[in-house]
Chain A
């Protein structure tokens, strides 16, 4: 069993023009284990993506206080690639496009990155795994010979993120708005991929605006985040309550003094 612990995490982002550091996360606490699916919901501009990018190690986010522990080991000073090899994966909202590198070549390189030099995956083994996952995600084999994300539609990119997830098999997958821009069919396919990963050796932190995704990937724990903090934690039912009452309702129930960006 693997664990991911976030302790009193404070994160700032520096504005490039003004050089002014702005605090986005203001003390986040969260503990998860493999075998669990957690969802984080929250209004726009509340720090959900900041949390996932900080856990992965994006350079723009500075941890000013607190810690992130993967299996008891602090990872805040680790480079991105090392965190990935230790078992973290971030399904991105806007995956990069890279011309000249095929999807298949990239997948193999990524799978081999965690393996020892004398234990690289064989071509046969790789293709077998690839075929199985392509099938499950309803993707054509032709997609793997295309250049990485280049010219992919929004839906194809999201599917490709899930394909990578299934091939790399991390301990923890952070999925950042994996449902944005997806029609209902694509949403089902993506959910199928994540559900196929469920098990004792996999945990996921799913970031979403909408309860809809959680009908397909039923979470064990739901957290509500507002203004850089987790303000409420519950079970799958909490997402449904939220859908009914909205973020303003939750805020007022909890008597929080938080301005919502999109509030009229």
Chain B
């Protein structure tokens, strides 16, 4: 975004990675991804045209962030990063003793090379998945590695807090790699915010490798800033009898593409994905949420709810993909958008790709306005129109909110929603 035109090539990329003390395999991975880019396309988000968005730069700068800018938002955060700088890592000794690894990704690359090499963009999101994934691999700036060895169960969630440093111009390609060993059970809360107001890109990927009989629940609270154009890709690969549950609050202020997919790779795997989004101002947000049934007797459930204000645009695509051979599988989805403004645009598209007969699949989708009967009822008891609308919206989002396992995340999400609604109405 600087006025100065910069170029990038394999040689320069290699030099930058060497400066950063990266192992040879990672440098090769970057270069290969960089060379793949020109062959790949942006991920397709049906009914959402973002072809003209600039979503990638050709710079890789190693920058330091001023850690004094940061105050952690979550109590007892386990890992806190600002831009490329890791501010704190606090893994309880009890977990470390059981072999749990929580560290920034570049430390992991050197300290646990076999593990990272095995899982980083190989299984859940391969580097050639799409243009923005390969860009991510080539220009990776920061990340987190969480490894939970077999049979470890945790009572408390692991809290990860990632802050984009927009006090300066800097690219932000952050990668969270989570490996859940066999028979593990744990949850992760990931919160992402922006500090500062500079125009910047964000490209944040999350990979979850859920091994046999593991149970992983991920809550994500995305609150990137107004001047951040973001690409968020989250994907889980779920093995035999394992479960991955996502709760994603898309509360970003800027234009965003969300690309969420869970692959039920082996028999008996399960996933559900709950997504809540609010858009306002001139914001444009397109979201694919998909679950792919590959193994037999797998079950996927997608639930998306969005509220659109002002002149904003929101597209929800629910993608249920059952491949041939995934007999006895289930694929359910519900995508609903509530229009709070006549100038807002919403699309809720159920997409079912079913190549197997012995399955159960269902879908529901709607884009509608606030129920006038509900509004009248509430107002007839003396509630102001604004208060009544908030309650109707809360009720609309209730189906997703009440399903979020963590009370902390739920409360936070409700307060963010209230704030956004208040702001959105003032804009009118």
Contact = CB atoms under 8 A, between A and B. Distances in A.
Contacts of A92: 377, 380
Interface range on chain A (Cβ under 8 Å from partner): 20 to 34
Interface size class of B (residues with CB under 8 A): 20 to 34
B401 A81 contact: no
A214 to B, nearest CB: 24
Contact of A56 (B380, B392, B396): B380
Nearest to A114: B382
Please indicate which of the listed interface residues B371, B376, B382 has the most CB atoms of chain A within 10 Å of its own CB.
Answer: B382
Contacts of B374: 96-98
B395 A109 contact: no
A147 to B, nearest CB: 7
B395 A147 contact: yes
Interface string A52-92: 00001111000000000000000000011100110001101
Interface string B122-153: 00000000000000000000000000000000
Interface string A89-122: 1101001111111000010011001100000000
A190 to B, nearest CB: 18
A100 B394 contact: yes
B385 A100 contact: no
Contacts of B372: 59
Contact of B395 (A81, A95, A100): A100
Most buried by A among B381, B391, B392, B401: B381
B402 A100 contact: yes
B376 A59 contact: yes
A84 B392 contact: no
B399 A99 contact: yes
Interface in A154-177: 164, 168
A84 B382 contact: yes
A233 B376 CA distance: 31
B381 A168 contact: yes
Interface string B386-400: 011001101111110
B371 A96 contact: yes
B45 interface: no
Given A85-B382, A113-B384, A168-B382, A101 B395 contact: yes
A106 B379 contact: no
A98 B398 CA distance: 10
Which residue of A85, A92, A99 has the most chain B CB atoms within 10 A of its CB atom?
A99
Given A96-B378, A100-B398, A168-B381, 4 more contacts: A59-B372, A59-B376, A97-B374, A110-B383
5 closest pairs, A vs B, by CB? Answer: A100-B398, A113-B382, A100-B395, A84-B382, A96-B377
Interface of A: 56-59, 79-81, 84-85, 89-90, 92, 95-101, 106, 109-110, 113-114, 147-148, 164, 168
23 contacts: A59-B376, A79-B385, A80-B376, A80-B379, A80-B380, A81-B382, A81-B384, A81-B388, A84-B380, A84-B382, A89-B380, A90-B380, A97-B374, A100-B395, A100-B398, A100-B399, A101-B395, A106-B391, A110-B381, A113-B382, A113-B383, A113-B387, A164-B381
